[in-house]
């Protein structure tokens, strides 16, 4: 092994690259494109010049190898590096200028998340030396990027929905009430996926994004009718909410049933490429069940609580 001495090399004007270049040329020869060529009639033969194989084990001989210096002339290798017998990697891969070792494993049909959890529980990975860290690569890296991208898409979708509803209702609290249906649908989606043993994958994430629009649509029907009943029909808040639930329950339930019926064949595995789309259908059906049932209870309660708080806060400001 040839281990450069950074301090001595810097004093003599020798870089680590110069040491590596000299050692490489002496032990294995120069790059193929830099080699001298013997021109024959029909081809060129590269001429590689290097040390004899039996000389590579002679530390005294290797120490005499000359290394160029930027101060002019050359210096012996022993002056800028330590030569000793040892073992090391034949190839050093780097990622972001740091040494990298890649480990691969065959999943054999197992979920990637379960395999990653088992790998992270290995004692070797739990007791890494200082300066050593793990970084996802390959499918594991794609898996992490997928969830990060999904989180950003979900946040962007919720922000866009809130912005549009804010323009339509011209009220800051009403869009928040409508968006409360989103976690209700997410709970049902994850619950049905857990009961059916469906893995969280890209189609399932697409189904969760679809639920944002479906769940908010049901809430919009309730909140919009309650606001109209209060403003245009002169109803009090309680009567307006009861009337909205009574008259809007049928379209909400019919829409959810129609959507669930359309997704049911895919959830049961019928049709071409159903295995890929099945998680999406399961997530949508589970989210529709909980959002339809709970939105008729939670959204009116949240509307009443938010309106009561807003009106009391507004009265307090006016008195002040």
- Residue-wise pLDDT tens digits, 233-253: 778 888 888 888 888 888 888
pLDDT digits (tens, 9 = 90+) for 266-290: 888 887 677 778 888 888 898 888 8
Could you tell me how far CA 121 lies from the centroid of its own chain? Answer: 20
Confidence of residue 318 (pLDDT cuts 50, 70, 90): very low
Neighbours of 229 (CB within 10 A): 20
**Confidence (pLDDT) at 136:** 72
Confidence of residue 320 (pLDDT cuts 50, 70, 90): very low
Task: Name the segment(s) of the chain with CATH classification 3.30.2090.10.
Answer: 2-88
Query: Average pLDDT, whole number, for the chain?
Result: 80
SS3 assignment for 22-83:
HHHHHHHCCCHHHCEEEECCCCEEEECCCCCHHHCCCHHHHHCCEEECCCCCEEEHHHCEEE
Nearest Cα neighbor of 286 from 178, 217, 210 is 210
pLDDT at 45 over 80: yes
Average the pLDDT over each of 13-17, 142-146, 253-257, 312-316 and give the range with the smallest value: 312-316
Task: Name the segment(s) of the chain with CATH classification 1.20.1640.10.
Answer: 139-319
3-class DSSP state for residue 264?
A: helix
- Identify the CATH assignment for 139-319 out of 3.40.50.300, 2.60.40.10, 1.20.1640.10, 1.25.60.10: 1.20.1640.10
Contacts of 211 (CB under 8 A, 6+ apart): 182, 185, 186, 189, 283, 284, 287, 288, 291
pLDDT at 139 over 70: no
Q: Please give the helix or strand (H or E) that residue 3 lies within, else none.
A: strand 2-4
3-class DSSP state for residue 277?
A: helix
CATH architecture of 2-88: 2-Layer Sandwich (3.30)
pLDDT digits (tens, 9 = 90+) for 183-196: 888 888 888 888 88
Distance CA(126)–CA(119), nearest Å, equals 10
């Amino acid at each position: 092994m040839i281990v450069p001495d950074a301090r001595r090399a810097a004093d003599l004007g020798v870089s680590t690259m110069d040491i590596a270049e000299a050692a490489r040329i002496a032990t294995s020869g120069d790059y193929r494109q830099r080699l001298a060529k013997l021109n024959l009639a029909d081809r060129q033969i590269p001429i590689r010049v290097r040390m004899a194989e039996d000389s590579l084990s002679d530390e005294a001989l290797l120490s005499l190898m000359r290394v160029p210096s930027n101060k002019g002339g050359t210096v012996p290798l022993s002056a800028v590096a330590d030569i000793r017998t040892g073992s090391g990697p034949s190839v050093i891969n780097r990622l972001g200028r740091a040494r990298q070792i890649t480990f691969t494993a065959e999943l054999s049909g197992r979920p990637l998340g379960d395999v990653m959890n088992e790998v992270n529980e290995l004692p070797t990975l739990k007791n890494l030396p200082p300066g050593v860290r793990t970084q996802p690569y390959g499918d594991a890296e794609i898996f992490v990027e997928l969830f990060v991208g999904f989180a950003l898409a979900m946040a962007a979708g919720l922000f866009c929905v809130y912005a549009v509803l804010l323009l339509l209702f011209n009220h800051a609290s009403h869009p928040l009430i409508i968006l409360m249906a989103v976690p209700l649908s997410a709970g049902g989606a994850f619950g049905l996926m857990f009961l059916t043993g469906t893995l969280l994958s890209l189609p399932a994430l697409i189904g969760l994004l679809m639920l944002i629009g479906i769940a908010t649509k049901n809430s919009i029907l309730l909140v919009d009718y309650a606001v109209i009943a209060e403003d245009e029909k002169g109803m009090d808040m309680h009567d307006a909410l009861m009337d909205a639930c009574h008259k809007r329950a049928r379209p909400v339930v019919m829409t959810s049933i129609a959507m669930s019926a359309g997704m049911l064949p895919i959830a049961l595995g019928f049709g071409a490429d159903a295995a890929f789309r099945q998680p999406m259908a399961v997530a949508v059906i589970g989210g529709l069940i909980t959002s339809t049932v709970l939105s008729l209870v939670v959204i009116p309660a949240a509307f009443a609580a938010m309106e009561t708080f807003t009106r009391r806060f507004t009265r307090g400001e006016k008195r002040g």
